[in-house]
């Protein structure tokens, strides 16, 4: 993976004959029809889970008779192809929703077909704040994980429906007990309510120039079908004895290391779906992996790793917090904190409270931005504290062009005291 090898195709990654001793790998690549082989002390596979477009044509009876154009969302480049066309987008993930909205500005009519529905949220949270900077805080995460799953689910559903009543728009998920990936789209509700996008259920049958949806016998004329049906992943350059993909996941310790290798010199980076940003998740994985590859950190015995992998595969609900029951799903802050603990880079709130209470409050109640992961440990950044304390200033600097003098709120001092007391209680509960 990575741009530095982008022009080369990786043909194979195999163990060297003395792998049990050296832990080395032979990597064969193809560049301009010429094969090259090289020996490496370690390999990090960073291809992620969006590698192979999933196009389940067998699930759409009659698709072979369709005379219009159809393609996977990965092939989509520009909305001009939809001009004056009748468009059907299948799949209500982020890609499908984005394509449907873009198409609706040019197409004659747009249908968005969804089997299970989804939660559509705005990028803008209360008071105009970016939603992830408000939602993804250590305080909010601790609160969610302290409450029973049904209560957390109800609270989140209520909050999401305050912006958009999903039942009224035909969007509400059929299964609301398991966490579904949020669909970030500010435009979709407006396109639906103005008749530019029509939400429909799954496809019953595809005809030569039309489709029939499952809730009706009426045929809808269609010119273009876009399959936003997601991706599968595989490692064709690795033998199945090294990494085997089953049921949409691989047997990896902490989503990174194969548990059965004699030497831990192969790391899989980015094969995870956190409820949060993928980039800092992958970076944190890489930081820990490097420490393991260097021998600074040691992995547990294979039996311990395999036991944890099998327990994760069972997907048993914890009954508290959000339900991460689908393959590769994880709690963003909890997972990253676990990896940071291994490299002594997790922020110590208790110690911080004694030495730098202002920073402690900001770290606990403020956005859990990646600056926090650079306060200590290998790769420590001296500018991390200042970046944390000024992140809101940078967030609004580009949009707050008109400045109005604001009078201080009478509750400001009270809220600061309350926040400080809440932090003390939270830390007490954590270490109790």
pLDDT at position 16 over 80: yes
CA atoms of 385 and 359, how far apart (whole Å): 7
pLDDT at position 325 over 80: no
Which pLDDT value is given to residue 2?
45
Q: What is the mean pLDDT of residues 377-386?
A: 95
Which pLDDT value is given to residue 408?
66
pLDDT in tens, 152-177: 989 999 999 999 999 999 999 987 77
CA atoms of 96 and 118, how far apart (whole Å): 12
Angle between helices 412-431 and 357-365 (to 10 degrees): 80
Q: For 408-429, b where at least 16 C-beta lie within 10 A, e where not — what string?
A: eeeeeeeeeeeeeeebeebbee
Higher pLDDT, 247 or 88: 88
Whole-number average pLDDT of the chain: 90
Domain at 52-231: CATH architecture: 3-Layer(bba) Sandwich (3.50)
Overall pTM > 0.85: yes
pLDDT at position 65 over 90: yes
Strands laid side by side in the 219-221 sheet: 203-206, 210-213, 219-221
pLDDT at position 5 over 60: no
The fraction of the chain above a pLDDT of 70, given in percent, is 94
pLDDT in tens, 290-313: 999 999 999 999 999 999 998 888
Q: Where are the domains of the chain?
A: 52-231
Q: What is the mean pLDDT of residues 122-149?
A: 91
At residue 409, φ and ψ (nearest 5 deg) are -75, 140
pLDDT at position 4 over 70: no
Which pLDDT value is given to residue 186?
95
Q: What is the mean pLDDT of residues 174-198?
A: 89
pLDDT at position 105 over 80: yes
Q: Give me the helices (H) in 39-171, please.
A: 94-104, 131-135, 138-146, 149-163
Instruction: Give the residue from 33, 430, 4, 47 showing the smallest Cα distance to 270.
Output: 47
pLDDT in tens, 415-428: 777 777 777 777 66
pLDDT at position 18 over 70: yes
Instruction: Give the residue from 336, 341, 375 showing the smallest Cα distance to 359.
Output: 375
């Amino acid at each position: 993976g990575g741009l530095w090898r982008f022009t080369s195709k990786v043909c194979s990654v195999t163990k060297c004959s003395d792998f049990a001793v050296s832990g080395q790998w032979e990597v064969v690549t193809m560049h301009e029809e010429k094969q090259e082989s090289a020996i490496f002390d370690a390999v990090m596979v960073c291809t992620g889970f969006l590698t192979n477009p999933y196009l389940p044509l067998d699930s759409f009876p009659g698709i072979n008779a369709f005379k219009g154009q159809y393609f996977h969302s990965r092939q989509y480049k520009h909305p001009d192809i939809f001009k004056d066309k009748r468009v059907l987008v299948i799949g209500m993930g982020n890609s499908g929703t984005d394509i449907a909205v873009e198409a609706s500005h040019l197409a004659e009519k747009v249908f968005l077909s969804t089997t299970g529905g989804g939660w559509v949220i705005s990028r803008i949270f209360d008071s105009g704040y970016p939603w992830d900077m408000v939602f993804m805080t250590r305080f909010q995460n601790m609160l969610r994980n302290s409450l029973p799953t049904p209560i957390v689910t109800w609270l989140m559903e209520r909050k999401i429906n305050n912006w958009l009543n999903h039942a009224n728009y035909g969007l509400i998920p059929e299964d609301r007990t398991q966490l579904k990936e949020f669909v970030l789209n500010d435009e979709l509700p407006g396109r639906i309510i103005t008749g530019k996008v029509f939400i429909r259920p799954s496809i019953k049958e595809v005809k030569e120039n039309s489709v029939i949806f499952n809730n009706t016998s009426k045929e809808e004329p269609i010119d273009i079908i876009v399959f936003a049906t997601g991706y599968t992943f595989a490692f064709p350059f690795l033998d199945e004895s090294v990494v085997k993909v089953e049921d949409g996941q691989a047997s990896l310790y902490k989503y990174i290391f194969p548990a059965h290798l004699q030497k831990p010199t192969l790391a899989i980076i980015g094969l995870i779906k956190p409820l949060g940003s993928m980039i800092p998740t992958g970076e944190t994985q890489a930081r820990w992996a490097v420490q393991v590859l260097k021998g600074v950190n040691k992995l547990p015995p294979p039996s311990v790793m395999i036991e944890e992998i099998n327990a994760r595969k069972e997907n048993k609900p914890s009954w508290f917090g959000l339900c991460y029951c689908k393959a590769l799903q994880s709690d963003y802050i909890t997972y990253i904190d676990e990896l940071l603990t291994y490299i002594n880079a997790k922020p110590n709130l208790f110690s911080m409270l004694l030495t730098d209470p202002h920073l402690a409050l900001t770290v606990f109640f403020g956005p859990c931005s990646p600056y926090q992961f650079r306060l200590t440990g290998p790769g420590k950044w001296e500018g991390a504290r200042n970046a944390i304390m000024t992140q809101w200033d940078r967030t609004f600097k580009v949009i707050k062009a008109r400045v109005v003098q604001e009078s201080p709120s009478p509750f400001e001092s009270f809220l600061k005291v309350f926040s400080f007391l809440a932090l003390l209680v939270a830390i007490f509960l954590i270490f109790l």
